[in-house]
Amino acid sequence: MLIFLLYLAVFINGFQAGGYQASLMAIGKTYDLSLITMGAFASIQLAAGFISPLIFGPLSDKKGKKPFFCAFLLLEAVATLIILVFNEIHMFLLGIFLVGICDGTLQYTAIATVADVYPVTGKKKIGILTSFYALGAVIAPIMCSFYLERGISYKVLFFVVFAAGVLEFFPSMKESFEVKERVDDINNFEKMNDKASYSSNNIRQNDSDNMPSNKKNIFYIKGILLLCLIMFVYVGFENGFAYFINSYIYEDLNFKYSYYAISLFWLAMIPSRILMGILSKWNKILLLIAAAGTALFAFLIAMSGSGLLCVLLCIPLGACSGAIYPCVLNRVMDFAGTRTATASGLVNVATGLGGAIVTYIVGILSQYNSIQSSILALSAFMAIDILISLILLRENKQS
């Protein structure tokens, strides 16, 4: 039940994110927003995502993750209720800001809980967990396109999120967040991970295959900060692309099936993220390949000039970019020691900052130049992740 609840929470986060991306054009028309203001609207939610980890990440490591997980499920229901009840623009902004805080908290709490509660199979479960986020982001744009094209309000999206939060809150309150796996309960443990070591409280401390030999069993801040920078760039790319690709294909390239670009982008992430969990022992080189592939396919989308081709190229783009998240998360858990919520919280800070800053800049570039030029800029921006991935490879070879 616990893993189901964690997967469901992340699925709803992805559903809300993908639905908001697909709804941004309709929201912009509702409130008569320019491309710059649309970028600002997207950034408000993303910026909120880095506030909560700074405050609650270390606290949840000390006090336990269950209280924070349950509290923010309830707060997300309240936040979406504000959006549903009020029509004023300032109330929408308040609601979406609170939704961003809740999404950030639920995400890093779920990741940290998986790492703590499932010390033997946690890496594979983290890969599956991130694929549920992508699954939610696949379904939401398809659903949004169905009712938006029929003149139904964008608020349907937030009603679904509200209902899901309320329904999940009660079983989460009853569920135990204690460790579910122990080494002596797994007959094939040596085959699954013959290099793993565990502390007396059964929480994974390190992975010898990924962690520098002189940094085992401690909170390795240098490695975590490098991975946070990778996520700053990646999530900035992901959101800058996803929030504006619909407008680009529909309005600039005159292709009416533009909503499918977002769904295919996220759909391709699902098998990619599951595969990264299975192949986690090779995540160092896979991270480099994923970053390079993301930059390449974004460049091809910007240069294609065809709406249909753009939609189709979102498939390999999603497969490459989707691999980055689970690769980074598994490396972060290796560097976290027992402070898993603090480490995953720092990642969420980086993702929130990257998403907010880059998405807003994409809105400005799109307004004063073109969305096509913004996608080209995003492709070049991914070169930073390629460089950092190379640095992490070199560091591990030297250790």
Write the pLDDT tens digit of every residue in 59-105: 666 777 788 888 889 999 999 999 999 999 999 999 999 998 888 78
Say yes or no to pLDDT of 395 above 80: no
Answer whether residue 54 shows pLDDT above 60. Answer: yes
Residues 6+ apart with CB under 8 A from 242: 18, 21, 262, 265
In which band, very low, low, confident or very high, does the pLDDT at 398 lie, cut at 50, 70 and 90?
very low
Is 23 inside a domain boundary? Answer: yes
The pLDDT value given to residue 182:
66
Domain annotation covers residue 257? yes
Look up the pTM and report it.
Answer: 0.69
What lies within 8 Å, CB to CB, of 11 at 6+ separation is: 132, 133, 135, 136
User: Does the residue 283 lie in any domain?
Assistant: yes
Note the pLDDT tens digit of each residue in 339-394.
Answer: 666 777 777 778 778 888 888 898 888 888 888 999 999 999 999 999 999 988 86
| Domain assignment of residue 286, given as a range | 2-179+203-398
* Residues found in the chain: 399
Phi, psi torsion values for 206, nearest 5 degrees = -160, 170
Lowest mean pLDDT among 59-73, 145-159, 222-236, 311-325: 59-73
Q: What distance in Å separates the CA atoms of residue 352 and residue 341, rounded to the nearest whole number? A: 16
Q: Please choose, from the candidates 231, 330, 332, the residue with its C-alpha nearest in 3D space to the C-alpha of residue 280.
A: 330
Residue 192 lies inside a defined structural domain of this protein: no
Using CA atoms in the order 192, 331, 175, 19, what is the torsion angle rounded to 10 degrees? -120
Residue 294 has pLDDT above 90, yes or no: yes
Per the structure, how many domains does the chain have?
1
Task: Tell me which of 123 and 242 has the higher pLDDT.
Answer: 242
Q: Quick count: other Cβ atoms within 10 Å of Cβ 348?
A: 27
User: The domain that contains 347 carries what CATH number?
Assistant: 1.20.1250.20
Q: What is the pLDDT of residue 335?
A: 74
Q: Which of 17-21, 214-218, 339-343 has the highest mean pLDDT?
A: 17-21
Whether residue 198 is contained in a domain is answered as no
Q: Would you say residue 184 lies in a domain?
A: no
**CA proximity to 95, closest of 168, 18, 41, 160:** 41
pLDDT of res. 338 = 66
On the question of pLDDT at 1 being above 90, the answer is no
Please tell me the predicted confidence (pLDDT) of residue 349: 79
Residues 141/26, Cβ–Cβ less than 8 Å: no
Above 90 in pLDDT, residue 296? yes
pLDDT digits (tens, 9 = 90+) for 149-183: 888 999 999 999 999 989 999 988 888 877 776 65
Identify whether 373 is part of a domain.
yes
Residue 333 has pLDDT above 80, yes or no: no
Question: Would residue 189 count as lying in a domain?
Answer: no
